[in-house]
Chain A
Amino acid sequence: DTEVTQTPKHLVMGMTNKKSLKCEQHMGHRAMYWYKQKAKKPPELMFVYSYEKLSINESVPSRFSPECPNSSLLNLHLHALQPEDSALYLCASSPDRDDAYEQYFGPGTRLTVT
């Protein structure tokens, strides 16, 4: 199973709402990532978890809050977002960093902030 799943597929939220994005993988990978992708642009790294600990935060605003409850799950909690936060949010995972660097991406959550 080389699949990363993400829910929901689409999300529309107002600027005062609180919502969460979910990501799951069952490949035994120990690193998980959140990326943001705007239209016609490459993915931009937001957060990296390694062995369930936050390793990288690319200076992301605090209205985005990541959480890694266990090695298979990754959440992104959203609060008080701005319209410019509308984008495709991608989750990815990769094996133990000492062994390989391949990242496997999920299908993404298309987020619209109104």
Chain B
Amino acid sequence: GENVEQHPSTLSVQEGDSAVIKCTYSDSASNYFPWYKQELGKGPQLIIDIRSNVGEKKDQRIAVTLNKTAKHFSLHITETQPEDSAVYFCAADTGGFKTIFGAGTRLFVKA
């Protein structure tokens, strides 16, 4: 079955710096890759996603890249702000309703 690895597990950056979180997946049939942000005491919130027929997608300060050949995808946050502090999960989906999550990255943005 699908396996998603996520790195790093913890990331600390200064406000205004960029943050990058990387994931790899194992199942070449995966065709949808969402990213979720989870703040303390809340449910995961979908922040951006990418499908396998697209290499990059941007939404304001957030971008996601996908390398299908290498089975890598990454989340890039520019000009980080304290409110970006949260746990971020990558995920991979082959269809059939199952979404496989990475272990999560705890991002700290220091003011």
- Chain A positions within 8 Å of B, measured between CB atoms, are 4, 31, 33, 40-43, 45, 48, 50, 55-56, 90, 92, 97, 101-108
B59-108 interface (Cβ within 8 A of A): 89, 93, 95, 97-99, 101-104
Chain B, Cβ-Cβ closest to A49: B97
Q: Are A102 and B97 in contact (CB under 8 A)?
A: no
Q: Give complex CA distance A27, B46 in Å.
A: 15
Cβ of A55 and Cβ of B42 under 8 Å apart?
no
Q: How far is the CA of A106 from the CA of B97 in the complex (A)?
A: 17
Tell me how many residues of B have a C-beta within 8 Å of chain A.
Answer: 20
CB <8 Å contact, B46 and A104: yes
Report A18 CB to chain B, min CB distance, Å.
25
**Do A41 and B103 touch across chains, with their CB atoms under 8 A apart?**
yes
User: Which of B34, B98, B104 makes the CB contact (< 8 A) with A42?
Assistant: B104
**Which residues in A have their C-beta under 8 angstroms from that of B97?**
31, 33, 48, 50, 55-56, 97
Q: Is the CB of A101 within 8 A of B34?
A: yes
Given contacts A43-B44, A102-B49, 13 further A-B contacts (CB under 8 A): A4-B43, A31-B97, A55-B97, A90-B43, A97-B95, A97-B97, A101-B34, A101-B93, A102-B34, A103-B34, A105-B36, A105-B45, A108-B42
User: In the complex, are the beta carbons of A42 and B43 less than 8 A apart?
Assistant: no
